[in-house]
A = this chain, B = another copy of it.
Amino acid sequence: MNVVALPAALKPAPKPSFEGDFALPGEFSLEAGGVLRSAKLRYAIYGKIGPSRDNVVLACHALSGSAQVAEWWPAIFFAEGLVDQEKDAILGINILGSCYGSTGPTSIDPDTDQPYGANFPLVCVRDVVRAQALLLDSLGISRLRLAIGASIGGMQVLQWAIQFPTRVSHAVVIAACPLGAMGLALNHLQRQAIMLDPDWNDGDYSAEQSPGRGLALARALGVISYKSGELFEERHRRKPDRGGEDPWKDEGLPGGRFDISGYLDHQGEKFNSRFDANSYLVITRMMDLFDPTRAYASPAEAWGRIQAKLTMVGISSDWLFPAREVQSLAAEIKAAGVRCEYRELISNHGHDSFLAEPQHLLDILTS
């Protein structure tokens, strides 16, 4: 998912009123059996948490986001509409497994005094949400006014509503549902790309010699799944690479690219400079494993726990989380007696529409 340009009126990006770390309990047990020792969560607050602590909006980030909400979703939170700019406080929390401050594969494993690398344990969305709830406890926040997120951020929001039913007033889940076979396939091949890079070295690499080409290929493949064929056609068609390469000239690979190929390579390289390959492995697996009804006797039991008002948004051109899947999940949840409504964002930007079409998204959420 790409970071959208901040509207001119919002430059420079708003700064958090607070940014810091929250220490999880000494041993934080994980769903899949592992344990994280001395782990922490990086979080950021924009605005001021009120005395009654009932003005907090939780912003759950997607795969490559961070606690700094203003860096990746400014046009949703710092524009009029969803958030009251005077009264609300926005809370961003970096997810476990990431490389933006919370404990992840680049952190030091206290058992070995070495970075976790590929030994970082399997973390599920349930773990992420339970850790976030502990942070909320420490801040004295018993109930969120709003929790909102897209993609794996949307998974967190839905998990919040099930796992802590009394702690969310309004949950907005955008372009998220358990991944289908095509989504699982795409994530799997992205991981294969990383592991194919000889510099991955079974996850034991240094910052100086990291699997950059593998991560770039994974990201390029990710970008394909975040966009739509229609958007690619509109933007790139069969144009040669804008850098001047000629696909019809026999210059040997990797030259002679079309524009779409140059674009994807560029996206991969950019990402490579800001993300960690092992984190990518951990978070895509977390995404694969999301299946919020799994811990309950039946799906209806899971959905029936939800007390929040739930808004689910599908994106018409999303093929990673197809709108019809999100819609059908919303119908299933509603059938369990939940106040659940489905809205559809009509856009050809694919999954990334939640970033690329912020005004459109705001319109849908506030109409």
Contacts and interface: CB of A to CB of B under 8 A. Distances in A.
Interface stretch (A5-13, A94-102, A167-175, A227-235): A227-235
A247 B122 CA distance: 10
A34 interface: yes
Contact of A181 (B178, B238, B254): B238
Nearest to A223: B185
Contacts of A133: none
Given A186-B224, A232-B185, A192 B217 contact: yes
A185 B260 contact: yes
A238 B179 contact: yes
Contacts of A198: 198
Nearest to A228: B182
A56 to B, nearest CB: 32
B281 A224 contact: no
Q: Bin the interface of chain A by size.
A: 35 or more
Contacts of A213: 196
A261 interface: yes
Main secondary structure of the interface of A (DSSP, over half): helix
Contacts of A291: 238
A118 to B, nearest CB: 7
Interface string A313-350: 00000010010000000000000000000000000000
Given A180-B238, A196-B197, A319-B229, A189 B258 contact: no
A175 to B, nearest CB: 15
A221 interface: yes
A32 B288 contact: no
A15 interface: no
